[in-house]
Every structure is written in structure tokens, then in C-alpha cells.
A and B are shown apart, each in its own frame.
Chain A
Amino acid sequence: MMLLIKNGHIIDPYSRLDKKSDILIKNKKIADIKENISSVDKKTIDASDKIVAPGFIDMHVHLRDPGQEHKETIETGSKAAAKGGFTSIACMPNTVPVNDNSGTTEYIVSKAKKRASVNVFPIAAVSMGQKGELLTEMADLIKSGAIAFSDDGYPVSNSQLMRRCLEYARELNTLIIEHCEDLDLSSGGVMNEGYQSYLLGLRGIPDYSETVMVARNIILAEKTNSRLHLAHLSTTGSVELIKAAKNRRLKITSEVTPHHLFLDDSLLAGYDTNLKVNPPIRTKQDNKSLIEAVRRGIIDVFATDHAPHSPDEKEVEFSEAPFGINGLETAVSLILDKLVNKNIISLNRLVEMYSCNPAKILGLENKGKIEIGADADLTIIDTEKEITVDVNAFQSKSRNNPFHNWKLKGSPVMTIVGGKIVFSSLKQNPSAE
């Protein structure tokens, strides 16, 4: 069965497409892109007034599977991704057990094959047990399906280990993703350090807890001539360092989450644990710097750092609650509403950051683009659709999202993975002419 998407407005910065066209899908691949493709014998989707983009990729997701299936599973997390407009997700290794061995990687790959709605790419740990002591067997893990390496949740604190993993990854042509945090400076903090933390009497995490590690990591990447991706940036200082690194043409890429773009620490006045996240939401000034960095191409990728936690884990004293925001189902609408519909960035830039760039950084050659022969992973967006975030309607197993009840304009309306519709809120005429 062939799938035809008619009359959509195609936006793909990779192929320089920005026009109305039809897309024909055959055998999980894009078979044709042109106007007026005949719909005879094809299942047809009317995408008039919709944006058709290469499938979105969230390169920073915690699926909690194996080990913490009460928070999320590969099945529920990938359903949440599909609803959020993502066709591929990369999942972090801080599962139980830690994904530091080919057995765990293979488990994730095989369970994803059976149960997942979207493509799932495991990210394996940099160090055994994420303890920051011994390197994992990267070559073996890559063979089993690992797409990148990270100790996310923790930084690689030991600079020598960081150097070694960068050197090793360089020769395997794989990617290291680093959570930049100086744990001694964070020192048990639970929110951004500053006026608000002093006001609330909560232990602070200074912004330079991140920035000093960004600086160290840039230096190590430069010295080892390696690629390095910096996760979930949150501070003005980090942006400045990355800007300078990019000017020197270093192979540094980075990501930012919607919550670090749009939330600031003054919101913590009510001690809402759904706002407790690491790195912490910072100040309005940091929001501004990060948005500017998105606009100017200093930051490459939007990622959610989707970190589901069950309600009883979050409904506790603030200092006791785990860090993390459940982000897959609000991420795309947030960027559409706050940045695209407010004319701060273009739709092209959104597609670049949600699709083309993560595909390129992760080395997913047939993804992140709309061209003949590419994987038929597509995200269809309605930029005018108004939604009210309702965590109770989430596909995710958890509800820890601080955007509950926010009204947003713009939403993914259909997600197609390998030519298969995995999510749709589009009203379809059941028409095959």
C-alpha cells in the first residue's frame, strides 16, 4: 500500500524545500516529491494548510526501561514521542541496570522493535555503571546498536576519563554527549542559586556549576580533536563559550530544552516539584540568552530531556523530589507558540533544530531530510491549531510536566514513521479517489 500526502507545505532546510507539494511513500521510503501525484490506489492524507517536515528527532530522552517501568516504558515513552511529533528518539543509559553493556543495549533494541511506536536509538554509558571510573566497551556497544555515549544524569567528572573517552570515540567515529556539571559546585543544590534560592531557602546550584564544565569540555574536545555534544544548556555563560568555540570551528554541538528557554526560577515560589529539574531552570536573563543562541545558530538542537517520574515520587517535599520534566508531548507546541508564531525563529529553523541537525549529529543518514530514497519519517504540523496542555491526557506514564493548562498555538497533528501513521489527530476524509 502506498501512502500519499497531498497538498502539504513541505519544509526541509536540508533539501532546501519550502513549497507546496505532494509526497509519495512506498516501502517505508519516500518515493516521489512533486505536485499533483495521482491518488488512485493510494491511501491519501489531505495535508492542505499543514506543514510537512522531515520526522523530528529527540536526541535526549529517558525511557526508564529497563528497571523503572513504573515511570515509563519503551512502549509508553515512544507513544508519547509519537504524539509529540517525534519519529525518532535517543534514550539515555541511566536505566536499571545502566546501559553499559551490549546485553542491555540489545534488550532496548529488541523491545523497541516489538513495542515502540517510533525509532528508538539507545545511547550507552561512557563509564561502567556511570561511575566515572572505567570506560565501557564502546565498539561492542556500537555493534549492538548504541548510537552515542553519555553518562547523562551525571557528568564525567574526571577530566582524564573525559579525555580518554573523547580520544576513543573519535577513532570509532561515534559521539560523546556530556551533561556539564561540576558536582562540587552543585553540592546538593536543588534549584538555581541566586536571589530566588535565597528567598525560598533552597540549596542553590550556581550557573557556573555548568559553565566551568562547558569550558573544560570545550578545551578537551579541542585538544583531542573530537566531536562533542553538550546536553541541555541552561546558562548565558555556556552560550558565550560555545559561541567562541564555534567561531574557532571546533566540533562542538549543543542542545537546549523548551523548559530552559521558557521557564525561570521565579516560578519556583510555590515549591512546585514539577519544576525541579537538573540543570535547574535559571533566570529570565538566561532564557533570553538561550533564545538568542537558538536564533543565531549557536545552539544546534532542541531536545526535551524527557524525564518521567511517577506522581508519588514528585508529590513530596521539594528537596526530596527527583529531578526531571516530562517533555515529549509539549516540546514542539512550545517552540511553535513561543518562537515560531511570535516570529522569533522561522519554521525552517525549527525543522533544522528538531530534525536536520539531530540527524546529522547522530549520523542518521537517511533521516532528517525529505528526499527521494530517504526514510519515510514525517512530522505534520498545524501552526494554527490551539491546544491546552492537559497532563492527564498524556500518553506518557507520568505527569510531571509544568506546562499543564498552558494554552499554546501550533501543534503536531500527524506522525509517520517508516510510512506508517503512528499518531494522528487529523480529521481525515476516508477518501481514496
Chain B
Amino acid sequence: MKEKIKARVMDSKKIKRAFNRMATEITEKNRDLNNLVIIGIRTRGVHIAKRISKLIKEYDNVEVPVGILDITLYRDDFSELEDKHIVKKTEINFSIENKDVLLVDDVLFTGRTIRAAMDSLIDLGRPKTIQLLVFIDRGHKELPIRPDYTGKSLPTSRREQVKVKLKEIDKKDEVLITEPGGIG
């Protein structure tokens, strides 16, 4: 599908600043960083999680482990998907029992992905707390879910799409608002 770029809302400089701010907020809020683990939701949440972990290491010299969560098997919106989703590996090589889990995703939209991720986490063990970090909170939530850390709140219309581009996958850091093509 063709899409049209409506606005470039963040560039690499702004993104870097947002990361630094969020990392600071996390270290301020979590007294015992040694009890913290970060779990990124595939695909971009994983890279955001890794950057956060790296920043925490820089600030406080604590290694915060990063796990990868694939929530395909927990989705409740199968019937709305165009195609069957390929299942990828969940890779969490540490116990989350009694841990402070920081769940990380790129965009918070309806909240259903986060719901699925929390179900999945709870099947894996009983964390002490679950906190949520999303890089963009774009509104239109359908579930009572609110992030603890946000890179940017970005009011959007339902038609619009928010694209968080990351160096690790997309060659450069930027956040775009796009719209399906054909409409002026």
C-alpha cells in the first residue's frame, strides 16, 4: 500500500533527548535497579529496550537484562489481521519472578498489544511490578492502560499511522506520521 508522509515529528536529536529523559526517569523511579529487567515487545520494542538498558548502564553502571517477547500467540485481534501472523521466538533468558519488569513497545495505540504482553508475562511468572514504556503515545486507547514513561505524546487521527524508525532496523532515527495514499 502506498502511503504519504504527513509530518516528520521527531528527528534523531529529539529522539536522543527523549531516550535520555526516559532513562533518567526510570533510574529515579526504580531504587533497586538490580531488581529491574526490561522486556521489549517484538520488533521495535526490543531495540528501544536495548537502548534504555545501555543508557542505564552508562548512568548507573548497572547491567539491566533485556528479554524479547513475541505476543502473536496472545493476540485477541486475529480476525482483524490480514494474514496469519508468523510466530517468532520469545527469548527471556532470566526469571521474571518478583522482578520489576519494564515492558517496552514503540507505539501505544489501542492498548491491545500491551494487554496481550501482560497476559504473556504473567504466564511466564509473577513479577513484583510491571511498568510500561512506550516511545509514542498516540491516543485512541480501548483498554485502561497508561504508560509510566513516554517519549512523546502525539495526538493523531485514527486514519493516521505513526512510524517509529530506528537506526538498528531503518538506518536512521525518526518519527513520522503517515496516511494511506490516494487522499490529498
On whether A and B touch (CB less than 8 Å), the answer reads: no
Residues of chain B at the chain A interface (Cβ within 8 Å): none
Residues of chain A at the chain B interface (Cβ within 8 Å): none
